[in-house]
Structure 1
Amino acid sequence: METNGSNSHSHENQTSEVPNDASKGSSPEKVVFVNHAEIAWHESRKQWIGVQSQKSKRLPREPVMSWTTTYEDLLCSTEPFQQPIPLGEMVDFLVDIWHEEGLYD
């Protein structure tokens, strides 16, 4: 599916000509193709991500992990975190550690 950066779905409905066997000699009847799977996918996606225009603009929050946290601190502790660590924060943390150790170039 070709995208142009907007949410328009110009390929959802396509008209194709299908011959009508019952009426030989008459002009082909036009059948509109509706991609029900794509429509269902977009509806499921809307439910999953929510409507972006209705989401409040969140202010950046303080990181859950301290900037002094080390990789060993995470590996050696059996205590659960005081609060969940957002995935983006954990990825940033790991990338920084991997850069320091020369594992991520």
Structure 2
Amino acid sequence: MCSGLWAARAELLARPEPRRIVLLLTDGVPSDTPGAVADTSLRLHKDGIEVAAIGIKEASVQRHWKNHRVIDDPSQLAQAMFHILTTLLTSRRQRAA
């Protein structure tokens, strides 16, 4: 998971848009240590990149990201994505400390 987040970070930092969002989808527990996932997520946050996650039959996203959804079936994916993106786009962006 961390390698995917680092790759997304590199791509997004090269973009000119003022707002950068990663929507992470996972169906498994990260193979990285929880500390590594937290450190990587904090680095993205400090870089101004917002991370949201959807766990497909996987609740570990609750431990790592404030903006998350857990779904039981892939048929719920569209609704979960809409909910997460609506929440992100209608709320004030949180600045890194």
Q: What is the TM-score normalised by the length of structure 1?
A: 0.27
* Higher share in strand: 2
Larger RCO (CA within 8 A; separation ≥ 6):
2
Higher helix content, 1 or 2: 2
- The two structures have a TM-score, normalised by structure 2, of 0.29
